[in-house]
Structure formats: C-alpha cells, structure tokens
Amino acid sequence: MPLAGNAYRNTPEPGSGINRSGKLVWSNPEDVHSIYVHLNQPATFEVALRGAARTPARWQLASNGQSFNINVNGAKPKEIPVGKIMAAKAGYLRLDLSGLKKTGKNYGEISDLILRSDKDGLQLNYVKSNKDNMFYWGRRGPSVHLGYQVPKGKKIEWAYSEITVPTGEDPIGSYFMANGFGQGYFGFQVKSPTERWVLFSVWSPFNTNDPNAVPEKDRVTTLAKGKNVRAQKFGGEGSGGQSFLKYPWQAGKTYRFLTRVQPSDDNTTIYTSWFGDKEANEWQIIASFRRPRTNVHLTGFHSFLENFSVNYGSVKRLGLYGNQWVCDTEGTWHEITRARFTADATARGDHRLDYAGGTKGGAFFMKNGGFFDERVKFDQWFEKPSNPKTKPAINFKDLPKGESIGK
C-alpha cells in the first residue's frame, strides 16, 4: 500500500509529510500518520513497512489496541517486519504510525505498508497507484451527487433549494453545492479556519482549462454582481466566469439558494443567482452572467458534495439538501421529491468507499470522507416526502439586481 495515497497526518494542516517522491518523511514527535484500508471481511495480517532511516530511529505502528515498536537503521530502503495484526470486522482498518526516537533530523522515510494474509476471499480496497493522478484524487476522497427529477415538458426558469450543514460536519475543504445546472454551479465552501465563500460559476462553451485561451466570442461576461462580491474568470476545471462572496455562513443554520436561467433571442443565456439566510428571510444577489452560444432553460438540476483539500480527505462532512423546487416560465412552482445518487471516479473505481446518501428529516443528505463504513450503492433513486407548505414565497420583481457591470 503506497502511503502517498493512503496516509493522513492527525493534524490535517498544509504539509502532509509526503514528499514529491511519494515517501513519508517526518520529524515532529507529535505527528501521527493514519493509514486506511478497507476489508470485505475480518482477517489477520502479517504487517511490514518499506522504508529506511539514515541514522538509528524507532517507529511505532498501532492498530485495534495492538502496538509494535520498530527499530530501524540503514539508508537503503528495505522491507521491515512489524508483526501480526488482527482486524476483527469488515470495513475500514486504521493503522497509526508515529516516531518514538530519532538520532538525526528526522525519523526516516517510509514508502509502503505491506499486508499479507492467507484469508480466502479477502478483498482490500485502497488507492493502489497514481494512475490518473489518483494519489491526489484519492486523498481528496469521493465526490457524490444528487440529480433531481424535474417535471417533463416544462420550460424551467427558476431553481430553488436549501442546505443545512449539521454542527461539526463542515471541515475545511468542503464544498456543499446546492444549485447545479448544465452549464455551472452554485453553493458554499469552507476555504480556511477563518474564511467561507458563497460561490457561483458558469462555464464557457469553449472547452479549455486555460481561461486566457477562450476566444472573445466564447467568453462568459458578468452583467451584474452583489455587494462585496468578486467576479472573475477561472480555469483548471473548464473555464468561464466565477463569482464569490466571503460570507461567514454557519453550521446548524439553513441557507437558501435561487438560480434563474433566461435564454435570449441572440443565442445567449443569462444565469443569475441569489443567496440568503432562511431564518432572516433575506436575499442578496451574487452575480448575473451571460453565456454565449447557449439558448436553454434550466437543464441538469443537481447538487453535490466534495472535498477540495487533500489534507482533509480523512475528515467526514455531511450536508442536508432540502426543499428543492423549480418554477416554470408560466410561474408555476413544482416540488422536487426524487433524486438519483451518483458518484465520481474515485468512488466508482473503489479507491475510496466512504460515501453515503439518502433521506433524513424530510431532506436528502450526502456524506463523504472520514473512512466510515456505512456506504450505500450509487446510481439509485431516493425519494423524500412531499411538503407543499414549504413552497417558496418569492416576489421575483423584488429580488435585488446588484451593481450593473456590462451588457
């Protein structure tokens, strides 16, 4: 098992200890690096580590109440026997690695954990290689999505939804995306211990990760933005227009998201999003974008949950996604009660199995990260109870229009 894709420091701050060659090198005696592997059944393992120490050192490996002290000396990497570890149940097994003694600058380097077992039918799931950059994607963890079933034959102009993040379920790196559509997405993020964003983005129809390569005729333009909102171009995962508001949203509170999609006669479509604290009954505009070569109403209404920080892939996050409604061009609201649960390549390739979704308290929920065991099958439909009393009461004409930027 390569540590580069499967080990996490107990304090998930920048600088995981994994160097560019994929080896764990650490010097802080307080650091514990946890290694995770998923088992389909209980098993007993002969455990070893592949590593080296240029000066004498002592490591410790602990799991399920068992611990082993390992004396290491020698600059050439080799297999170092540890001992026998018993895993009493199926699910994720965690092994904690720490340094007990060093005589040089660090405790040495470790590239792999080695597990051997003669248990019939045993299957291990973990990030096995860096193919397709999976050390990066695997350390981020699986992303999960809800694709909403909207009424057929209707031209949908508005999408409304709410998110409540339970207290303690909002670690750094979390992106709770509320209103996704065929050409962009809208939700909120945890950027750092002191900074949170509301983020609204629309992709350009020109396919590139370099925003400077987008031709003028294919650029997403900003028409308006709200107070303290920053609007800019973005790249890396496609290119387009991005807007964000630094906003101290809080776990335990419910926030609402509203997106309007307006096709125009000139083969462009305008996308506008508003955000607000539900309890305060407030709306503020985030931004309005014009997308060229597009003439559609709302398509592909969905939500997702992802972690964008490789240092926080071992921490669980959960969001309650509730009260989804869409409004057609005739002004009729339609409640959304069904959603299809899907997942990304990290989950589908069985690199990470810590994902789940379903319904809870009248809302949909999604959960990922933290190496929990209670996963559910993706590509299944969830249904939540109908509640017509929660239909949005919005006077569209009274919504804030923001600062005009362009045409």
Residue 147 reports pLDDT greater than 70 = yes
Residue 139 reports pLDDT greater than 60 = yes
Give the span between the Cα atoms of 285 and 245, in whole angstroms: 10
Residue 233 reports pLDDT greater than 90 = no
Q: Name the residue among 174, 137, 172, 117 with its Cα closest to residue 4.
A: 137
Distance between start and end Cα atoms, the chain: 55
- Decide which of 208 and 258 is more confident: 258
Helix (H, G, I), strand (E, B) or coil at 137: helix
Residues 19-47 pLDDT 10s: 778 899 999 999 999 999 999 999 999 99
Task: With beta carbons less than 8 A apart as the criterion, state whether 288 and 224 touch.
Answer: yes
Residues 309-347 pLDDT 10s: 999 999 999 999 999 999 999 999 999 999 999 999 999
Instruction: Provide the β-strand partners of residue 187.
Output: 177, 199
Q: Where are the domains of the chain?
A: 3-126, 139-404
Residues 340-382 pLDDT 10s: 999 999 999 999 999 999 999 999 999 999 999 999 999 999 9
Residue 79 reports pLDDT greater than 60 = yes
pTM of the full predicted structure?
A: 0.94
Instruction: Give residue 283's pLDDT.
Output: 98
Instruction: Give residue 407's pLDDT.
Output: 54
Give the span between the Cα atoms of 180 and 306, in whole angstroms: 13
Average pLDDT over residues 291-319: 96
- The backbone region for 204, taken as left when phi is positive above 0, alpha when psi lies in -120 to 50, beta otherwise, is beta
CATH number of 3-126: 2.60.120.260
Which residue carries 């609204």 as its tokens? 200
Catalogue the E-assigned strands of 126-253: 144-148, 156-164, 174-180, 184-192, 195-203, 221-225, 229-234, 240-246
- pLDDT-derived band at 207 (thresholds 50, 70, 90) equals confident
Instruction: Give residue 234's pLDDT.
Output: 56
Tokens coding 79: 């297999």
Average pLDDT over residues 213-229: 89
The pLDDT mean for the chain works out to 94
Give the span between the Cα atoms of 381 and 149, in whole angstroms: 10
Count of other CB atoms within 10 angstroms of residue 306: 23
Give the span between the Cα atoms of 342 and 376, in whole angstroms: 10
Average pLDDT over residues 126-130: 97
